[in-house]
Amino acid sequence: MKISTIAGISNFIQGPLISMLRADAKNFRIILERDLEYRIYYHITTAINNRNFLIMGNKTISGIRTSAKTKGKKSGNAPFVMPDIMIRDNDKLNDIRIIMELKSDKADESNVYLNTASRRESFEADFGNLRKYWNNHKLKKHLKHEFFIYLYRDDDMPEKEVEKEITKKLRKGKKSRYKQLIPITINRYQKNKTQFYDQPTKDEIDDEFKRIDDIQAGSSNSKKPIKKKPVKKKSSKKKNPLTKKQRSMNAKNYWRTKKKLQNRMTEETRKKYGLPPKGKKPKKGRR
């Protein structure tokens, strides 16, 4: 039977959906954050009554300005935001019931976001956005739940600890309704909420993740790197300048070998460079 209430959808997200996403991660159906969005969309769409609710990804909500790191600008400076996933009523399109923000690891990120300053900034911007959605004078009339779903890999930080850290950030402030802002974490290195895989299995997860993530196309990727030829250094020794006699001999040889120039020479110049008069063949031993 299809889920037909918001409470039922919330229970599905906090229960069966986690197991489904863990299986997706184990089978490498999720490599990118966009893959995580697609899988959540698929699982919820197949579970809910689509006559009652609409689920959308990256849908624009106009009239809200959020974190400087994530805010959008339309023409005329009209503010807007684009949550990763929203679920809204089918009959009242402005009644948004659930909003989700998502984060997923990358092939080269085998530790939790807390260990990297640049990633912490991006995460905290999402936490701030979720609080602003919750406090918006229009959204808060209908919004029932918000979820922050995080897929990651880390040897030392189990899911429960990461959820505690995110909860502190997400529910920052004195608003009692922030209890409806719920973090969900899934560690690829864990079989379940309490058990980790052994080290060889973790290594296999990393290797397979990188293998699937690496896509190459075109002959340029298969070319061997070109080895540059070593540049010969010029000798630092200075050559002795040519003598007057050497310069004269070089000039004579140049003029002798250039027939077009020879034909333009005067008789005096030909005699100077040891050439026979025009029309006469040179003696043996000369060019």
pLDDT tens sequence across 184-240: 999 999 999 999 999 999 999 999 999 999 888 876 555 555 666 666 666 656 667
- Lowest model confidence (mean pLDDT) among 5-14, 70-79, 187-196: 70-79
Does the pTM surpass 0.85? The reply is no
Name 49's Cβ contacts closer than 8 Å, sequence gap at least 6: 2, 3, 4
Tokens of 79: 């503010």
Q: Give backbone dihedrals phi and psi of 54, rounded to 5 degrees, phi first.
A: -115, 135
- Same domain, yes or no, for 182 and 268? no
pLDDT over 80 (residue 93): no
What length does the chain have? 287
Question: Is residue 36 one of the residues assigned to a domain?
Answer: yes
Residue 40 three-state SS: helix
Question: Is residue 222 one of the residues assigned to a domain?
Answer: no
- pLDDT for 225 equals 54
Domain membership of residue 276 as a residue range: 244-287
- pLDDT for 28 equals 95
**Most trustworthy range by pLDDT among 116-120, 222-226, 262-266, 274-278:** 116-120
Return d(Cα 51, Cα 209) in angstroms, integer.
38
Query: Which of 197, 213, 229 represents a domain boundary (last residue)?
Result: 213
Question: Is residue 235 one of the residues assigned to a domain?
Answer: no
- Same domain, yes or no, for 44 and 186? yes
Closest to 123 measured CA to CA, from 67, 176, 178, 179: 67
- Same domain, yes or no, for 19 and 139? yes
Query: Which of 191, 213, 235 represents a domain boundary (last residue)?
Result: 213
- Same domain, yes or no, for 145 and 267? no
Give the residue with greater pLDDT, 73 vs 217: 217
DSSP string, 54-84: EEEES--EET----TTT-EE-GGG-EEE--S
Query: Which of 190, 213, 236 represents a domain boundary (last residue)?
Result: 213
Confidence of residue 59 (pLDDT cuts 50, 70, 90): confident
- Same domain, yes or no, for 148 and 269? no
Return d(Cα 216, Cα 214) in angstroms, integer.
7
- Same domain, yes or no, for 155 and 102? yes
Question: Is residue 76 one of the residues assigned to a domain?
Answer: yes
CA angle 169/13/34 to nearest 5° reads 75
- pLDDT for 281 equals 66
- pLDDT for 76 equals 52
The share of the chain scoring above pLDDT 90, in percent, equals 49
- pLDDT for 75 equals 44
- Same domain, yes or no, for 33 and 170? yes
Give the number of domains in the chain: 2
- Same domain, yes or no, for 26 and 127? yes
- Same domain, yes or no, for 175 and 274? no
Question: Is residue 142 one of the residues assigned to a domain?
Answer: yes
Q: Give backbone dihedrals phi and psi of 82, rounded to 5 degrees, phi first.
A: -135, 85
Residue 27 three-state SS: coil
- Same domain, yes or no, for 192 and 139? yes
Residues 29, 38 contacting (CB under 8 angstroms): no
Residue pointed to by tokens 């009652």: 52
Question: Is residue 219 one of the residues assigned to a domain?
Answer: no
Question: Is residue 112 one of the residues assigned to a domain?
Answer: yes
pLDDT over 60 (residue 285): no
- Same domain, yes or no, for 265 and 141? no
Across residues 79-93, what is the average pLDDT? 88
Across residues 23-35, what is the average pLDDT? 96
Q: How many CB atoms lie under 10 A from the CB of residue 167? A: 16
**How far, CA to CA in Å, does 147 sit from each of 99, 127, 243?**
7, 10, 90
Closest to 102 measured CA to CA, from 205, 7, 13: 13
- Same domain, yes or no, for 77 and 146? yes
Question: Is residue 226 one of the residues assigned to a domain?
Answer: no
